[in-house]
């Protein structure tokens, strides 16, 4: 979904991040020739790009329906303790929604809907699992800590 840039801030890796109108963020990496963000280092450059339109993949994340109750919370998983069943084609029980919450690091989250969509989860973006849909939940790079909340009616 296309969203406009409202402001910029530095993340904890000292990278410039664009704050989008939808509330999601996009890291502005200078990566020529694919992405030219040389302007992002200067206040003037950032000011000139307020209002720019960015594609926000995070807007494609399913939304947890309102009114569900938290029924279970998993233990804290790390990159080397992720259960195998989560890593390839995990589907929740019938009628059960779930939310993947990352405490530290980055997690790869693939939703096998039509078409399949991939997300990188971090402490700001949690993943939502819809019932009946397969998901892959894998470490993206380096250390990661996360847990899963299960919701039902
Ligand atoms: Zn968004």
Q: Read off the pLDDT of each residue in 13-25 and give the average, rounded to a whole number.
A: 92
Q: Return the higher-pLDDT residue of 153 and 33.
A: 153
pLDDT of residue 126: 93
In the chain, ranges of CATH 2.40.50 domains: 2-60
CATH architecture designation of domain 69-152: Sandwich (2.60)
pLDDT of residue 31: 74
pLDDT of residue 65: 93
Tell me, in angstroms, the distance from the centre of ligand 1 to residue 81's CA: 30
> For ligand 1, a single-atom ion, which residues have Cβ within 5 Å?
22, 24, 56, 58-59
Topology classification of domain 2-60: OB fold (Dihydrolipoamide Acetyltransferase, E2P) (2.40.50)
Tell me, in angstroms, the distance from the centre of ligand 1 to residue 80's CA: 30
Tell me, in angstroms, the distance from the centre of ligand 1 to residue 97's CA: 21
pLDDT of residue 115: 85
pLDDT in tens, 96-141: 999 999 999 999 999 998 889 999 998 888 999 999 999 999 999 8
pLDDT band at residue 147, thresholds of 50, 70 and 90? very high
Element (H, E) at 45: helix 43-48
pLDDT of residue 35: 75
pLDDT in tens, 21-73: 999 988 888 777 777 888 999 999 999 999 999 989 889 899 999 999 999 99
Query: What is this structure's pTM?
Result: 0.79
pLDDT of residue 141: 84
* pLDDT at 149 > cutoff 90: yes
pLDDT of residue 114: 83
């Amino acid at each position: 979904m296309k969203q406009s840039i409202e402001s910029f801030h530095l993340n904890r890796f000292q990278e410039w991040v664009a704050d989008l109108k939808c509330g999601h963020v996009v890291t502005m990496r200078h990566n020529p020739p694919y992405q030219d963000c040389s302007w992002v280092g200067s206040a003037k450059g950032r000011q000139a790009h307020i209002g720019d339109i960015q594609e926000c993949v995070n807007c494609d994340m399913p939304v947890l329906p309102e009114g569900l109750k938290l029924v279970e919370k998993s233990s804290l998983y790390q990159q080397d303790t992720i259960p195998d069943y989560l890593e390839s084609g995990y589907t929740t029980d019938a009628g059960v929604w779930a939310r993947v919450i990352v405490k530290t690091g980055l997690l790869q989250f693939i939703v096998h809907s039509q078409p399949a969509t991939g997300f990188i989860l971090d402490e700001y973006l949690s993943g939502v699992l819809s019932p009946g849909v397969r998901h892959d939940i894998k470490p993206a790079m380096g250390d990661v800590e996360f847990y899963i909340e299960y919701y039902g009616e």
